[in-house]
Amino acid sequence: MKAYVCEVNSLPFEKLNDLEKTIQQRFAETLAQIDPSSSTVEFDLASVIGRTVGVNQCKTIYGRCPNDFSSLSSLMQQKVRETVIF
């Protein structure tokens, strides 16, 4: 999921769906905001990488992820639908 966070943060906010906007707003925007003792530190770093150096660096760093962005996005949407309580 770090690859997904990275790629979401490489995209312009206005092109994101609601879930992606939430993800982009949830994690650090700059290196200065990263707390190394936080349980989200790896995702914060992925967010900063996406924001500052872009999708190509996301693909380089998280290249071992077997899923592409589209697959990860579908998986995230599915997980959200499964957890919504009516």
Structure tokens at 31: 């290196």
> How many residues does the structure list for the chain?
86
| One-letter amino acid of 18 | D
Q: Cβ distance 26 to 18 under 8 Å? A: no
pLDDT of residue 6: 97
DSSP 22-67: HHHHHS-SSGGG--TTSTTHHHHHHHHHHHHH-HHHHHHHTTT-SS
Rounded to two decimals, what is the model's pTM?
0.89
Residue 64's pLDDT is: 95
What pLDDT score was predicted for residue 86?
Answer: 55
The three-state secondary structure class of 16 is coil
pLDDT, greater one: 86 or 19: 19
pLDDT in tens, 28-71: 999 999 999 999 999 999 999 999 999 999 999 999 999 999 99
Contact in structure between 69 and 23 (CB atoms under 8 Å): no
Specify the pLDDT at position 7: 97
The pLDDT value given to residue 80: 86
| Distance (Å, whole) CA 29 – CA 31 | 7
**Token pair for 34:** 């990263």
